Amino acid sequence: MTAVHPVDLPLAEARALVRRAVDKAEQLGLRGAIAVVGASGALVTASRLDHGGPGGMCRARSKAWISATQQIPSAEHLHRMTTLPAPISRGFVTASPEALFPGAGGLPIRAGEVVVGGISASGATVSPFLPAGVAPEAVSAEGEPANPEDLLLAYALSTPYAGQHGDDRSRWQARFGDLTVPPDRSLGLKPAPPAVRQSELDWAVAVCDRVLVAAAGAGLRVSVAVVDRGGDPIQQDRMDHAVAGGVDVALATASAAARFGVPSDQLADWYPAAQLAALHPAPLLAAPGGLPIVLDGRVVGGLGIGGADPATCATLARAAL
């Protein structure tokens, strides 16, 4: 009966889309996060570029969730939310808490006629505005003005460019005047060189990969998160067909371990769970599965695993580190 049940975009395909977006973002000088959410509403994978700063991942995940579950560009969703009566728009957010950031920029991912996910980018310098020093050729799509945020998603999906953020031409003229770029010199949708300045992201991906390989070898389907020392995600992955709740457990145990510098389950002996959860907007879970990442005596982040027996997740985390 499995054929009748819809599935999310596979992790390998989602990671490939994110990597293409990372390559284009580095070419454009952008720093932020890219997230892919499955049609089920559960995160599939997400990556934060180096120096992307906290907060962007949450916004990217929200816009990707909107595009995946509502099956429309998030710009269209934003238009609906700003034209509907306020009680309806408020009610939508209440009923759909992952839609807390209804900004433009998210796009649905299709397999034929079926939506299997959504993708979005957000963060420190990810925006529709042209960054300082960017070459006009880099932000031109087939000879027409483009904006960086929408451009990197069109590039990732290998689809024609479509702006979601208003008048690209007016921003272009404010920066470049009447300059025109011939279509054959437009670089926006042409291959970007592989990103080479993402050492923290590459490190986080390698940690996640060790977990994913070990879990697959043990016949497990888990989610994994690597966060910075403040608990903001750098890399998140959910194995194909892994339970949705593991995404949240992985992030919350990783955040707890990173923010307090001890294994996540140790916090249960230190603080009441309710008081712990009220300390910070980052999710915190005092259960096995999260470990601090310590380099040269300094806590630099946290690793969390969820979706399987917590003791098994803790064992996988210890092996990965």
Q: Where are the alpha helices (DSSP H) in 29-131?
A: 56-70, 74-83, 86-95
Q: Assign a CATH topology to domain 199-320.
A: Beta-Lactamase (3.30.450)
Least confident of 94-103, 144-153, 248-257: 94-103
Which residue's entry shows tokens 């043990």?
218
The pLDDT tens digits for 258-300 are: 999 999 999 999 988 778 877 877 789 999 999 999 999 999 9
Residues of the chain within CATH 3.30.450.150 domain(s) are 2-185, 199-320
> Contact at 8 Å (CB) between 303 and 290?
yes
Q: From start to end of 101-218, where are the E strands?
A: 107-111, 114-122, 140-141, 144-145
pTM over 0.85: yes
Which of the two residues, 280 and 104, has the higher pLDDT score? 104
First to last CA, the chain: 39
DSSP letter string over 251-303? Answer: HHHHHHHHHHTS-GGGHHHHS-HHHHHTS-SS----STTEEEEEETTEEEEEE
Tell me what pLDDT residue 93 has.
Answer: 87
Q: Cα–Cα distance between 278 and 217 in angstroms, integer?
A: 37
159-208 pLDDT, tens digit each:
999 999 999 999 999 999 999 999 999 999 999 999 999 999 999 999 99
Q: Which amino acid is at 29?
A: G
CATH superfamily of 2-185: Haem-degrading domain (3.30.450.150)
